[in-house]
């Protein structure tokens, strides 16, 4: 499509050279249209590289020479001035095209590096892990990167259990990758080593505090580096699950016709505050039965604003969607979020949906709230 548009604009540029030349020759010396020939290389520079722009500039210069020959010769002061002006302006637009093309190559390299970093750091979770189905989506706010400060991971524990992490580093873009890498590495290592969820969270906290100075510029903004996160244990046998929320937006539990907000009764402080806080060793239990889905997300989702300034109401929108599997649900949320923001995200956004054994009978969900710390209702 872009190539077709480029060819069309090139035809227009060449046609302009012909039309301006023929018109100038036809109307005589009373009106000088030769200076308008600069439009052709300028138009070409908007879509083409420096070589094609230079070629069109040479053709425009040749056309002006033809006009000059028929209208008094090349030695007249007016025609010499026109030729010099066209040559200078053509050289300028060629230089602009060169700068733009070099910038495009640099941007392509940056995106390639970012995509490689994403594949290494945010290794895609398996589609199936234990009794669970997993799907995820990452939306980076940075135009020049495919990765930012949001993080997610799924890992198996030593006992029959799946461990889940979703988090958000303060800030976004390439500068936050180092902090995200510390959290992800500590989680993946600790998921197999520690028996309980509080022990795992403490181990991740210790790693962040130990390595934060090396990966973040704490000298310039000390105390401003932290990571909100949720870590979850989902047992293989039975519907039991538990979470420990470290200052992160609460997940949504979707079961049949119910959407439950899993607010924590015992929230822990964000990771990375180190000596400023004490770690919570109590978790929030809940049930994830066959057919139920757990939707985790980062604050870039619920803080996404519409052009009028309204926040994205994730829980209400999910409750309004027809029930479906995790892939279809993620697609609906993605499309709806972009429509809400007018295709413009100001912060990174990540989604992780986990389903235990798909249900055959799907219903339209409605919104509920879970704030008392007890397991959600298991009745449809």
* pLDDT tens figures, 350-361: 999 999 975 444
The 10 Å CB-count burial string (b at 16+, else e) for 218-254 is eeeeeeebbbbbbbbbbbeeeeebbbbbbbbbbbbbb
Percent of the chain with pLDDT over 70: 82
* pLDDT tens figures, 301-326: 999 999 999 999 999 999 999 888 89
pLDDT over 50 (residue 85): yes
pLDDT over 80 (residue 369): no
pLDDT over 90 (residue 124): no
Round the average pLDDT of the chain to a whole number and report it. 83
Q: Which of 192, 120, 201 is nearest to 156 (CA)?
A: 192
Tokens of 218: 């704490």
Does pTM top 0.85 for this prediction? no
Distance CA(79)–CA(85), nearest Å, equals 10
* pLDDT tens figures, 290-303: 999 999 999 989 99
pLDDT over 80 (residue 137): yes
pLDDT over 70 (residue 216): no
**What is the predicted pLDDT for the residue at 250?**
96
Burial of 59 (0-12, 13-18, 19+ CB in 10 A): buried
* pLDDT tens figures, 4-44: 777 888 899 899 999 988 888 888 777 778 888 889 999 99
Q: How confident is the model at residue 147 (pLDDT cuts 50, 70, 90)?
A: low
pLDDT over 70 (residue 134): yes
Tokens of 167: 């988090």
């Amino acid at each position: 499509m872009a190539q077709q548009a480029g060819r069309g604009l090139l035809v227009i540029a060449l046609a302009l050279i012909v039309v301006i030349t023929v018109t100038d020759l036809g109307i005589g010396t009373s009106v000088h249209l030769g200076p308008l020939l600069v439009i052709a290389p300028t138009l070409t520079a908007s879509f083409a590289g420096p070589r094609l722009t230079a070629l069109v500039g040479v053709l425009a210069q040749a056309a002006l020479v033809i006009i000059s020959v028929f209208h008094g010769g090349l030695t007249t002061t007016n025609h010499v001035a026109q030729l010099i002006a066209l040559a200078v302006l053509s050289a300028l637009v060629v230089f602009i095209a060169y700068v733009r093309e070099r910038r495009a190559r640099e941007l392509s390299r940056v995106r390639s590096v970012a995509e490689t970093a994403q594949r290494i750091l945010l290794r895609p979770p398996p589609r199936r892990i234990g009794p669970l189905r997993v799907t995820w989506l990452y939306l980076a706010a940075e135009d020049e990167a495919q990765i930012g400060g949001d993080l997610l991971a799924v890992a198996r524990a030593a006992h029959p259990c799946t461990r889940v992490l979703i988090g958000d580093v303060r800030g976004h873009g390439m500068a936050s990758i180092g902090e995200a890498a510390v959290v992800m590495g500590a989680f993946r290592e600790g998921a197999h080593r520690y028996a309980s969820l509080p022990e795992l969270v403490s181990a991740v906290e210790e790693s962040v505090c130990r390595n934060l100075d090396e990966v973040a510029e704490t000298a310039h903004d000390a105390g401003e580096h932290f990571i909100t996160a949720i870590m979850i244990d989902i047992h293989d046998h039975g519907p039991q699950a538990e979470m420990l929320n470290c200052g992160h937006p609460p997940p949504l539990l979707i079961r049949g016709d119910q959407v439950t907000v899993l607010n924590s009764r015992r929230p822990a402080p964000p990771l990375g505050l180190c000596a400023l806080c004490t770690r919570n060793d109590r978790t929030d239990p809940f049930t994830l039965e066959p057919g139920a889905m757990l939707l985790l997300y980062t604050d870039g989702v619920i803080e996404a604003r519409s052009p009028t300034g309204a926040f994205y109401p994730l829980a209400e929108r999910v409750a309004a969607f027809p029930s479906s599997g995790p892939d279809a649900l993620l697609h609906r949320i993605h499309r709806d979020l972009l429509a809400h923001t007018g295709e413009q995200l100001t912060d990174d956004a990540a989604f992780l949906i986990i389903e235990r054994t798909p249900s055959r009978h799907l219903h339209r969900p409605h919104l509920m709230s879970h704030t008392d710390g007890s397991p959600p209702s298991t009745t449809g």
